[in-house]
Amino acid sequence: MHKLALWVALAASAAAADAPSIERARELYSRTEYEAALKVLASVTHKDSAFYLLRGQCYYMQGDSRKASELFLRAVELEPANSDHRMWLGRAYGRRAETSSFFTAPGYATKARDNFEKAVQLNPRNMDAIEDLFEYYMDAPGFLGGGLDKAGALARRIGALNPAEGHWALARLAEKRKEYQTAEQQLRSAVDLAPRSLSRVIDLAKLLAKSGRYQESEEAFRRAEKIDPNAPKLLFERASIYIQTGRNLDLARKLLKRYLEASLTPDDPPREQAEKLLRSASSS
């Protein structure tokens, strides 16, 4: 008993000593400084599930899904009832499925689905996990456990937790089915319920642009500007839709340059993606 008490005390002391490093690494991660965060984490001695999760997130954001999945799996082993750990493991397997061979991709996709479903089972209110599972059902073929019927059932579940997000999910489902009028109606309902949601207003602007209704799309983008004119997501998505539709390329380049100078978060598209778009706009 005395040895156990001593071990617990030493572990607690190590965790306390590492706390500033973990917080510093989290701060760097939140600013997309992933390599710097990994260097800080290298000095941590008490490696708990939170350590493995954060390290895995850094590798995931750097595009190393294999290393990320190994670290997320370690986090799950240490804390199997944690919904977020399962969600991130599912994301890493999903990324591996996207980038692996025809022979290995189905196995990784199945692991992604299993972990998303487990994450939702562990925490039925984990909206990020639910939306990840929804996207999986939307995109994966039936033999890998996907399907629009499954996505529809999950969309109703999303709506029960958050009505605005439920309309967004139904809009995604309608667009997948090429029911564009229904998609627009659902997005407008989402915006009505959450008028300050930048993402939903941008989604509406993008859908209108894809339908060739450019004036209405611009009105929606101006509405988004009133919410947050300097939001990186707005700069990127607006530039992206201009390039996709072959319009306002000078403005698209300016928006992308502003994006590359902005303070990004892990929720924003990576700078490499913006640089690729900028090259595309410059060559047009």
Amino acid 15: pLDDT: 58
Characterize 66-103 residue by residue with b for buried, 16 or more Cβ atoms within 10 angstroms of its Cβ, and e for exposed.
Answer: ebbbbbbbbbbebbeebbbbbbbbbbbbbbbbeebeee
Amino acid 17: pLDDT: 67
Distance of CA 219 to the CA centre of its chain: 27
Amino acid 12: pLDDT: 46
Picking from 70, 72, 48, 58, the residue whose alpha carbon sits closest to that of residue 28 is 58
Single-letter code of the amino acid located at 143: F
Amino acid 3: pLDDT: 54
Amino acid 19: pLDDT: 87
Amino acid 114: pLDDT: 98
> Each residue's pLDDT tens digit in the chain (284 positions)?
555 544 443 444 455 666 899 999 999 999 999 999 999 999 999 999 999 999 999 999 999 999 999 999 999 999 999 999 999 999 999 999 999 999 999 999 999 999 999 999 999 999 999 999 999 999 999 999 999 999 999 999 999 999 999 999 999 999 999 999 999 999 999 999 999 999 999 999 999 999 999 999 999 999 999 999 999 999 999 999 999 999 999 999 999 999 999 999 999 999 999 999 999 998 86
| Secondary structure tally for the chain: helices H, strands E | 15, 0
Q: How far apart are CA 100 and CA 5, in angstroms?
A: 47
Are the beta carbons of 32 and 265 closer than 8 angstroms? Answer: yes
